[in-house]
Structure 1
Amino acid sequence: MKTIILNQPQEFQLISRDFDDTLAENEALLKIHRIGICGTDYHAYRGRQPFFSYPRVLGHELGAEVIGLGSGAGGNGIKIGDKVSVEPYLNCGVCQPCQNGKTNCCESLKVLGVHIDGGMAEYLKVPVNKLHKSDILEYEQLALVETLGIGSHAVQRANVTENDIVLVIGAGPIGLSVIQFAKINGAKIAVMDFSKQRLDFANEAIGIDESIIASEDFSADDLRKILKGNMPTVVFDATGNAQSMMKAFSYVAFGGKLVYVGLFQGDVTFFDPDFHRREITLLASRNALPADFKHIISKMESGQINTKAWLTHEAAFDDLPTIFGTWLDPKSQVIKAMAVL
């Protein structure tokens, strides 16, 4: 089986290795067709991904075909030949958060392509209950469901409504997914990024109310002027940048919410008296829930979410080790890249 392994930072290798296709009870065998590349993969490649070890097979944004089912694996309606999106969060099912329906916060959670080997391979075995099928969507669309799930879950965490003024900091794929669902919920949306190209893309692909070019000296007063005297009731930071994440506190309206969608390896500090004075709610958003996958597939099938414009770059699977590093160059203007098998 052809597999791409990240041996250490900046060292991909295409290898051939044995694959045991014996299936356990309630397990499915997948043929991988599309692999979305996300920030986690880029961080791992650079050596900056928390909770990560090498060597590792990356790949958790997957569009796949079911080609085998273990005993008892057909109970949830999945059948051989189905096109599926893979929910890559393998939870234990018995810990306190799992019992409370917060499977994304499982105390022993293992994410495909992060904590255990993922889908940068021809074939993959996964529990059948981690598959979400569509009779309508194509493999490339199904590979985007997990990315969209991050934004969908974050917007639900913040309970965004049409009464909110939302600021999304960072217009990469995760920021775009937040924008997508905040817009579906009817909020007014401002987006901040250093890249005019990304801001223009967000406006053209989804539609936003305000585009803000980030700068080192941009202040809360500047933001208030742009928003005509108001401040954002919900701020999402999707940058994974320490300076941005800490500065984001200053952008939140009195009584508002700050949601960290991105993360970095380090400590977050803030001025506590101001935090209390404005009664800010601070939220972390991690991964997504099974219901998010179903919700997103439904929205995609109905045409409420159009992801065609998101896919700016792709590579044949065998060429990925050579091409991957070029996508880190800002001049490549990558929004979303995908490997094709």
Structure 2
Amino acid sequence: MSGGWNTIESDAGVFTYLIEKLGVKDVQFEELITLDPDELRQSGKIYGVIFLFKYPTGETRSDTPKDGNFDHEAANNMFFAAQTIQNACGTQALLSVLLNKDGEIEIGKELREFKEFSGEFPPELRGETLSNSDLIREVHNSFARSSPFIDETQRTATEDDDVYHFIAYTSIQGKLYELDGLQPAPISHGACSVDEFPDKVVQVLQRRIGRYPATEIRFNLLACVQDLRIRAREMGDDEALEAEEQRRNEWLWENALRRHNFVGFVGELLKGVVKDKLAQGGDAYGKWVEEAKGKTKKRSDDRKKQGITGDDLE
């Protein structure tokens, strides 16, 4: 393989522009704040959801899922790929939705060719094919947050690390499926029409979250939906259309910032500030340092009074 896969964020703007760069048309992602079927319905035409959760690294693999049933036969009739490499699960989850909605969604030439090429492979070989796709990996990595301190391609998780994992849920051929590349097969959660999807997927997610301690709140849910600008145009809602266009511009700006390493810039800025303080003579530099220490201590004391600890700051 010619390169590694970096970690990407569970962010609607990241996922939306990632799939656009892969050639997908008229699809976007929406972050859901609550586990409410009505909130999901308000997103318009829904293709599936992507769920991010803390993965129990010390847990042994079971022949029986904790919820639903393995459907080994279904793996031959849908796109389901085993996850064979670390950090690729976000892109693998969104492809699990998109490639199983081909026909409803314009997935583009490259993804269609990838789907056709890997279609007859078993899940393990599909996963290897995905991991070795230069196009998909390069697009995925172009949305990774720049870090000068960590080489994500070399980092291996241990049981003491907080490891997070993406999986997909979507309705396929009248059933609700959970598509998780770390599982041996798709997991069926029973009959589910497209109209029933919001209610049934929320029930599954509530049961899953319920298996965690009440103190665990680090979950994220993204809905894969039709581009909301299409609905705004069809309804003649110029205000909604303008708001969506503005949000797209904000996503572009945020994604551009993710690709830049600002450590050098901050270092040069600090050098300039220190040089200016020293040039002022006297004890200007010492007073500036002491003032900064005092402000830092005050912020720390204020957080303690509010019952906020460092562990609460994400």
* TM-score interval, smaller chain: under 0.3
Which has a greater percent of helix? Answer: 2
TM-score (ref. length: structure 2): 0.24
The structure showing larger relative contact order (alpha-carbon pairs under 8 Å, at least 6 residues apart) is 2
